[in-house]
A and B are shown apart, each in its own frame.
Chain A
C-alpha cells in the first residue's frame, strides 16, 4: 500500500511539473465533460430549428451563434463532442481488442506461419492511407456513425498489433519470462499474465495518440458526408455545411474548427505527456 501510494505521489508530482501534459489533460477533460454534460443539459435543443433566427452571430443568448437553420451552434458542438468521442473510443477499442491479441499471438509464435500471415496482413492495411481506407469502407457499406466506427477501427488494428508484437518480442527474451517458462506456463498464459501488464504503459500512450487520430478521421469522414447522418450533429459536417456561409457567418466554421483542433491538440499533448511520465529515461535524456 505504502509503496503504491509513494509511486502515485511521484507520478502526480512529475505530472504537475509537466505543463504540456497538464494543458493536454485540461483540454481533453473539457471536451469529455462537454460531451457528458450534453446528455443532461444543452443550452438549446441541438436539433431544434428556428429558421427565423438563422445565421445569428454569437450573443448572450446563443454563445456561439446559430447556424443556417437557426440551431444553436454551442449545443450542437456539445452533442457533436459526444459523437466524436464515442466514435473514437469504440474505434480505438476495436484496434486494441483485435490488434493486441494478434500482436501477442504473433510474438509468442515468432516466425511461425501465423506470425507471417498476421504481420503481412498488417502491412497490407498499413500500406493504405488510413483515411482513404476509411472512405473506401464507408463508401461500400454506406454512410453512418456505425460504419465510420468500423472503418476507423479497422485501420487501428495493425497499429496495435505491430506495437504489441514488437514490445512483446523484446520481453520474451527477458529472464522473468524465461523463469515463467521454466515454471511450466504456456505461451498464452505468459502472454496474458506477464507480457500484457508490461505493455500497459505503451498501450495507454499509443491509445491516446490513436484516439486523437480517430477524432480527426471521424471529422474527415463526416466532412465528406460519410459520418453520422443528419440531424445528429457532427463537427465535420458542421464544418462542411459552414463552407458557403463563411463570409456571411464565419462563426459557423470557426467554432467547429476550433473544437476539432483543440481536441486533437489536447489528446496529442496528453499522449506525449503520458509517454514522458511513464518513461523517465526518455524524459531525462530530453531534459
Chain B
C-alpha cells in the first residue's frame, strides 16, 4: 500500500471525528432469557407445565383479561365489560383491529370457540375449573361476547387472566403445541428442542408495540451452567435463577442487577393424608411442629423466602399469618407423636429436582430425626415425581412449590395427590365461588386458610421468592411473579 501522507492524515482525522460523532451504539433490541425447564409444548390451553406460560403468556397469547406485573387484573383483548345485576351475565367488548399472527382477524367467534373448547367435556385444559361456572358463550356481534354463568362467580375476570384461558383461533388451535399462533406483540419463529425458542416482534400488533425486536428463551437446567451463561453474557436475563447461593456474586458485580420479588409459589411439605399414620391429625401436627421454617429458608434458599403458615401468598391482602399455629417446637412434636401412639416412625420423602426441594428435604429429614421420625429420602426426576407422587400417590412426604396464583382451591379436590378433600373445606370453597362481595370473599378465604392450617393438611414452609438476575441495562422485567410468565412486552435495553 502506498498511501500518501496527507491522505492518511485526513482519513485518520475522519476516523477520529467519526468515532466522536457517532453516538454510543444504539440500544440493543434483542434479548436472551434463561429458563430452567423447557416447555413440553407451547399450547397453554393444553398443558399444566409452568414453562409453557413462561414462554407464551402475554408474549404470544392473550386472554380477555391479563395480569399486570403487580398481579392486578386489567383489560386485554376485552377492552371493557358490563356485569349484570345478578352477577350472571358478563358482556365483553373486544378490542378493534386485532389480528392473529397468521394474518387472520380476531373477533367474537374466536372468543366463543376458545371458551367453549376449554370447558368442553373432552377438553384437555389443565385448569378446567376456571371455566366451570360458564353456562353459555354467545356472540352478539363481532366485537361483543356475552358470557352467561350458571351461578355467580366473583373470580371470573381473574380466571380469564390465566394463561390457560387465552384466546386461540379455530384454524390453528390444533397446531399451537408446536407452532403457536396468538394475538400478542411477539410471534413464534422457531423452536430448537432442547435448546431454545425464538420469538420476534409482530409488526401488525394491535396495541402498544414491543420495544424488543427479538426474544430468545434458552433452556438451561443445570445451575452451574446457568451461572456460567449469565456471567459470560450468553443469557441476558434469568428471571428465575436456580441457584440462590450465586446471587451474592451477581450483586457484587455492577454488570448485573439482582431482582428479588415474590411469587405465587407456596412451598409445602405435602403429606399423604389418606395413608396411615398420616391420616392422624396429631401425626401431621407433630411434623409441622418439628420443622423450623427459618432454618430451611436460610439453609436451602440462602435467606430468600417468607415463612407461611397456610397455603396462601403473604402478599395477598386476604393472607392470615398462621405460622404460630405450627411454630417450631420439637418437644411438642414428640408429645403429639406420643399421644398419637406412634413410635419408630419411618416415612418416605420423595424429592423433585429443584434445589428448594432437594436441599429443603435434607434439612427437613434432619429436623424430623430430632423428634424421632426417620425420613427416607429418594431423589426423583420430574417425570418420575409426576408419575410416582402426583399421579400414583405412592409417597408419604414430598416437597413442592405450588406456583399457580390463588390455588387454595386444590384442597377441595378429592383426587389431588395429598388427598385431603374435606367436606367442610369444600363447603367454604363452594360458598366462595358463589360470592362476589369483596369483603365477604376475603372472610371466606381467611376461613379457608384457617381450616387447612387447623387440619395440618400439609406442613406449610415458605413462599418461594423470585430470585432473578439480569444485565443491569435491561429494564421492564417483572419483579414479582403474580402468574407464571416472562412478560417481554415492556422490556427494553437502556442506552
Chain A residues at the B interface, C-beta cutoff of 8 Å: 47-49, 51, 54, 68-70, 142-144, 225, 229-231, 243-248
Q: Within the assembled complex, what's the spacing in Å between the Cα atoms of A243 and B245?
A: 11
Using Cβ atoms and an 8 Å threshold, which residues of chain B touch A48? Answer: 366
Does chain A have a CB within 8 A of B399? no
6 extra interchain contacts, Cβ-Cβ under 8 A, other than A49-B363, A49-B366, A248-B245? A48-B366, A51-B299, A51-B363, A54-B299, A69-B299, A244-B224
6 residue pairs from A and B, CB less than 8 Å apart: A54-B299, A143-B378, A231-B362, A244-B223, A244-B224, A244-B243
Are A68 and B359 also in contact (CB < 8 A) when A231-B377, A244-B246, A248-B245 are? yes
On chain B, the residues within 8 Å of A143 by CB distance are 378-379
Assess the B227–A248 pair: CB atoms within 8 A.
no
Q: Is the CB of B359 within 8 A of A243?
A: no
Establish whether residues B378 and A49, one from each chain, have CB atoms under 8 Å apart when the complex forms.
no
B residues contacting A by CB (< 8 A) are: 223-224, 227, 243, 245-246, 248-249, 295, 298-299, 359, 361-363, 365-366, 376-379
Does the CB pair B379–A229 fall under 8 Å? yes
A246, B243: Cα distance in complex, Å:
12
A232 to chain B: closest residue by CB: B377
Bound together, the chains give a CA A248 to CA B243 distance in angstroms of 12
Q: Which one, B227, B245, B376, B379, contacts A68 given CB within 8 A?
A: B245
* A244 and B378 contacting across the interface, CB-CB below 8 Å: no
Residues of chain A contacted by B295 (CB below 8 angstroms): 49, 51
Q: How far is the CA of A243 from the CA of B242 in the complex (A)?
A: 13
Contact residues of B: prevailing secondary structure:
helix
Q: Which of B246, B359, B378 has a CB less than 8 Å from the CB of A142? A: B378
CA of A144 to CA of B376, assembled, Å: 11
Q: A51-B295, A51-B298 are in contact. Are A69 and B362 (CB under 8 A)?
A: yes
Chain B residue at smallest Cβ distance from A47: B366
Please pick, from A225, A231, A247, the residue contacting B249 in the complex, using a CB distance under 8 A.
A247
Q: Write out the residue numbers on chain B whose beta carbons fall within 8 Å of the beta carbon of A230.
A: 361-362, 365, 377, 379
Tell me which residues across on chain B come within 8 A of A54, comparing CB atoms: 299
CA distance in complex: A225, B249 (Å): 27
Does the CB pair A246–B359 fall under 8 Å?
Answer: no
Name which residue of chain A comes closest to B224, CB basis.
A243
CB distance from A277 to the nearest CB of B (A): 43
A245 to B362, CA, bound (A): 17
Cα(A54)–Cα(B299), bound, Å = 8
Residue among A142, A229, A246, A248 with the highest chain B CB neighbour number at 10 A:
A229
B9: min CB distance to chain A, Å? 49
CB-defined contacts of A70 to chain B, threshold 8 Å: 299
Q: What is the minimal beta-carbon distance from B354 to any residue of chain A, in angstroms?
A: 13
A229 to B348, CA, bound (A): 12
Bound complex: CA of A142 vs CA of B245, how far in Å? 29
* A245 in contact with B366 (CB, 8 Å): no
CB distance B245 to A244 under 8 Å? yes
**A142, A225, A243: the one within 8 Å of B223 (CB):** A243
Chain B residues, Cβ within 8 Å of A245: 245
Give min CB distance, A198 to chain B, whole Å: 46
* Across-interface contacts of B379 in A (CB, < 8 A): 143, 225, 229-230
A167, B365: Cα distance in complex, Å = 51
A231 to B369, CA, bound (A): 11
Given known contacts A49-B363, A49-B366, A51-B295, is B378 in contact with A246 (CB within 8 Å)?
Answer: no
Q: Provide the residues of chain B in CB contact with A49, threshold 8 Å.
A: 295, 299, 362-363, 366
Tell me which residues across on chain B come within 8 A of A247, comparing CB atoms.
246, 249
